[in-house]
Amino acid sequence: MAARKVPETAAGFGGLRAFDAISSFGLFRKIAKLAPDEEPLVPVVLFREKSGRVPYLEWVDTLPAEVRLLCRARLFQLSLDGHALRRPVADYLRNGIHELRLHRGRRQYRILYFFHRREAVVVSHGIQKFGAAVPPTEIERAIRRMWEFAADPAGRTHEELP
């Protein structure tokens, strides 16, 4: 049985070569199972404020390159698995808000997101977590963004992933 060809780039993955971007994060085998013309199952978009700010992009730009790469890998995995993604990679927080869980060394990072119907995953923002739980203010911020997105999906969507 011939192995499937690995896509040159991962869709929605910022143009990085799939192998370079995620082989060290244990996702290479999952991506290698995709046929060359297969697309991820769930589109991932970024939330855009009314002012044009994209909170996730502002946050991810402050992170070390290795952590940015891990964030991309997690978002790609989310686009593949959608609602089926579970612990230890993702978890449900409350009121429709989920988190992607990642860490590097002793530092813990979270990417907060929600589902817009069954059409897309919307990334609200990211945080570095210091305590045992995601701060309630961060969850409330994501809930507010979820309602804003539901009221105006086209106006609150930033589609280019970092």
* Res 110 pLDDT > 70: yes
Which distant-in-sequence residues (6+ apart) come within 8 Å of 98 by Cβ?
A: 90, 91, 92, 112, 113, 114, 115
pTM: 0.77
Q: Which DSSP state fits 30?
A: H
| 133 touches 93 (CB < 8 A) | no
* Res 10 pLDDT > 70: no
* Res 135 pLDDT > 90: yes
Q: What is the pLDDT of residues 47-104, one digit of tens each?
A: 999 999 999 999 999 999 889 989 988 998 898 888 888 888 999 999 999 999 998 8
CATH fold label, 38-158: YaeB-like fold (3.30.2310)
